[in-house]
A and B are shown apart, each in its own frame.
Chain A
Amino acid sequence: MSVESMSVEAMPVENKLTESLFAESQLNVKNKKIQSLYRVLFLMMTLLLILPVLIILGTLIVKGGSMISIDFLFTDPINGMTEGGIFPALLGTVWLVSLALLISVPLGIAAAIYLSEYASENWFTRAINLAIINLAGVPSIVHALFGVGAFVMFFGFGTSIMAASLTLAIMTLPVVIVSTREALQAVPHAFREACWNMGATRWQTIRRVVLPNAVSGILTGVILEVSRTTGETAPIMFTGAAFFLPFLPQSVFDQTMALSLHLFVVSTQVPNVPESLPYAVALVLIGMVLLMNSVSIAFRMYLRGKKKW
């Protein structure tokens, strides 16, 4: 049968088309027009999105850029905060953010590993997931009040860096958990199966294969957290940040100044502030976030370059 079918003759097909087979039709023309229309539309929307960012940055640089100097960054504010630098606030923000990260990153990653790699799909896990999603949507002022109740009063930390950092950590925990879990789940299941079939325990699988391949994704969550934590005002205002302090914090149980609160204070609470001061403070704040983000992005790209699949 196969020998016969090889020698079958070609059958002439009747060509019903009068014009060329591959010429452009009316429909093609129309579809092309629509396609370029949408392309332009989406481009415009994208531009519209980055426009505010550019305007904000531009304004800040024009109005506050001239004030920024080494002195501004590293001296104390004087004359009722109308002159001098912002050093205590800058240092305070670094304290608050680092301590918050130190608490929430390990906790969040551990929780995400449990949820993604160990927990089985049941009502309990579903309840936890729901709680995490809802927690991410709680307004920061509510977190602030919780922080006052829990850390300042119940645990007796007083208004302190500790209480403020814990509040920030709680607030950003859901972000870390969700993004870490997503990063873990992006690691192909086949890798885990390969490990299990070779007799690796769950932990060996996580440690040697899943985590190394998820780091860059996990870092994305941390970047998000850094940005959000640095700018938050409400949660630290009642729990550990002070308007003005004549001295630097000596331990985590002292109060501190913070950039975000300082910006709020100099722009609304203090009389006779030179116009450029709030802009300069805002510029430093944004600059800090951008700096930390670019460091983590660079690190992420480095890791991604090393990625092995």
Chain B
Amino acid sequence: MNTATAEQTNENANHYAIQSKKLNLWYGAFQALFDIDLDIKSGIITSLIGPSGCGKSTFLRSINRINERLGYVRIEGGIHVHKQNIYADDVELIQVRKQIGMVFQRPNPLPATIKENILFGHKLHMKDKSYSSADYDDIVESSLRQVLLWDKVKDKLNHKAISLSLEEQQKLCIARLLPVKPNVLLMDEPCSALDPKGTAAVEELIWELRGEYSILMVTHNMAQARRASDECIFMLMGKVVEHQKTDDLFVVPKCKETADYIEGRYG
């Protein structure tokens, strides 16, 4: 390979959080993803839109390799996160899950207190050092501050997480990823279980996290993709149709399918 181009790619790769190369994925005999080639920039919010069943969640779940829990999933091609192939043989799954946090459609706090939820991941991964309870308190406070939840829950850290409203639960689910300092946050329709007020609040929070984390967010809500993301990817039937700056994609889509979809003609 030519040295000049190799350096060139390396240079560019620094800006990318997630790069997928010819990613194909099968559930048994059913192919769900076709040749996904994507370069997702770091530090910004990228939204992923497309009609139901087009493979958005599947793509997301192959970035933290949670798909493999299903025995019948087969994958070809690769995904690089910060230039490192997460499908390489020497990759430790636990580290992948630590570096790449995931938020789900339905908030899924653990059946424990708010504090325990925040510290759960931290206690799994940070065994090498010993922490005092003051350290723990700091971690809890800073995580909750980052998700704009601290003032609301600071007096009830020992309450059950389930007693929070859905919006607060979702924020908590984001907060509990932060203590282990992930690089990438994946969010699968993080607001679709919330009311408009909760949606606005969680969007605001996601916007706050922008810069520190690279965020890839699946959404069904076109307006949300438009106002809360820098770049936008449109998928259709397991393929990437278009990947552009959000403003451009919604104003001057390059492909007819994209135009049809964002105008609500199908999906």
Contact A195 B64 (CB under 8 A): no
- B102 engages A197 (CB within 8 Å): yes
Task: Given contacts A197-B97, A199-B96, A199-B121, list 15 more A-B pairs with CB under 8 A.
Answer: A190-B104, A190-B106, A194-B104, A194-B108, A194-B109, A196-B66, A196-B69, A199-B124, A199-B125, A200-B120, A200-B124, A208-B120, A213-B111, A308-B162, A309-B111
B95 within 8 A of A: yes
The reply to whether B111 and A308 contact each other, CB–CB distance below 8 Å, is yes
Contacts of A199 in B (CB 8 A): 93-98, 121, 124-125, 180
10 contacts between A and B (CB under 8 A): A191-B111, A193-B66, A194-B104, A194-B110, A197-B102, A198-B121, A208-B120, A209-B110, A308-B113, A308-B162
Q: Is the CB of B94 within 8 A of A120?
A: no
In the assembled complex, which residues on chain B have CB atoms less than 8 Å from the CB atom of A195? 110, 120
Q: How many A-B residue pairs have CB under 8 A?
A: 61
CB distance from A186 to the nearest CB of B (A): 12
Asked whether A126 is an interface residue with its Cβ less than 8 Å from the other chain, the reply is no
Q: How far is the CA of A70 from the CA of B221 in the complex (A)?
A: 75
How far, in angstroms, from A204 to B97 measured CA to CA in the complex? 14
B residues engaging A (CB < 8 A)?
64, 66, 69, 71, 93-98, 101-102, 104, 106, 108-113, 120-121, 124-125, 160, 162, 173, 176-177, 180
Interface centre among A197, A204, A309, by most chain B C-beta atoms within 10 angstroms, is A197
Across the interface, do B162 and A309 meet the contact criterion of CB distance under 8 Å? yes
Residue A201 CB within 8 A of the other chain: yes
Cβ-defined contact, B108 with A198, below 8 A: no
A198 engages B176 (CB within 8 Å): yes
Closest to A308 in B: B111
Q: Out of A120, A191, A198, A307, which one reaches B124, CB within 8 Å?
A: A198
| Contacts A196-B66, A196-B69, A309-B111; A201 near B162 (Cβ below 8 A) | no
Pairs of residues from A and B, 6 with the lowest C-beta to C-beta distance, nearest first: A199-B97, A309-B111, A308-B111, A198-B121, A190-B108, A199-B98
B69 neighbours in A (Cβ, 8 Å)? 196
Which listed residue, A190, A201, A309, touches B160 by the CB 8 Å rule?
A309
Query: B111 contacts A201, CB within 8 Å?
Result: no
User: Considering only CB atoms, which chain A residue lies closest to B113 in the complex?
Assistant: A308
Residues in A with CB closer than 8 Å to B101 are 197-198
**Residue of A120, A193, A307, A309 contacting most chain B CB atoms (<10 Å):** A309
A199 to B110 Cα, complex, angstroms: 14
Tell me, rounded to whole Å, the shortest Cβ–Cβ distance linking B168 to chain A. 15
What's the nearest-Cβ distance from chain B to residue A216, in Å?
13
Q: Out of B94, B102, B106, B111, which one reaches A209, CB within 8 Å?
A: B111
Q: Which residues of A contact B121 (CB under 8 A)?
A: 198-199
The interface residues of chain B lying within 8 Å CB-to-CB of A307 are 111
Q: Is the CB of B120 within 8 A of A198?
A: yes
CB B92 to nearest CB in A, in angstroms, measures 9
- Report how far A20 CA is from B69 CA in the complex, Å: 60
A6 to chain B, nearest CB (A): 19
- Please name all residues of chain B whose beta carbon is closer than 8 Å to the beta carbon of A309 when the two chains form the complex: 111, 160, 162
Contact residues, A177-222 vs B (CB, 8 A): 190-191, 193-201, 204, 208-209, 213
For residue B124, give the distance in angstroms from its CB to the closest CB of chain A. Answer: 5
**B112 in contact with A308 (CB, 8 Å):** yes
How far in angstroms is the closest Cβ of chain B from A282?
43
Residues of chain B with a CB closer than 8 A to A209's CB: 110-111
Tell me the bound Cα distance from A195 to B102 in angstroms. 11
* Binary per-residue interface labels of chain A (273-309) against chain B in the complex, 1 for a CB within 8 Å, 0 otherwise: 0000000000000000000000000000000000111
Provide the residues of chain B in CB contact with A193, threshold 8 Å: 66, 104, 108
Inter-subunit contact B110/A191 (CB<8 Å): yes
Give Cα A20 to B113, complex, Å.
54
Q: How far is the CA of A123 from the CA of B176 in the complex (A)?
A: 39
Task: Kindly name the residue among B101, B111, B113 whose own CB sees the greatest number of chain A CB atoms within 10 A.
Answer: B111
Q: Which residues of B contact A190 (CB under 8 A)?
A: 104, 106, 108
Chain A nearest CB from B174 CB (Å) reads 12
Residue contact B66 to A197, C-beta cutoff 8 Å: yes
- Distance in angstroms between the alpha carbons of A213 and B160 in the assembled complex: 14
The CA-CA distance from A253 to B239 in the complex, in Å, is 71
B81 CB to nearest A CB, Å: 14
Tell me the bound Cα distance from A209 to B66 in angstroms: 19
A27–B247 Cα distance when bound, in Å, is: 61
Q: Which of B112, B124, B176 contacts A204 (CB under 8 A)?
A: B124
Which residue among B101, B121, B160, B176 has the maximum number of chain A CB atoms within 10 Å of its CB? B121
Q: In the complex, what residues of B have CB within 8 A of residue A208's CB?
A: 120
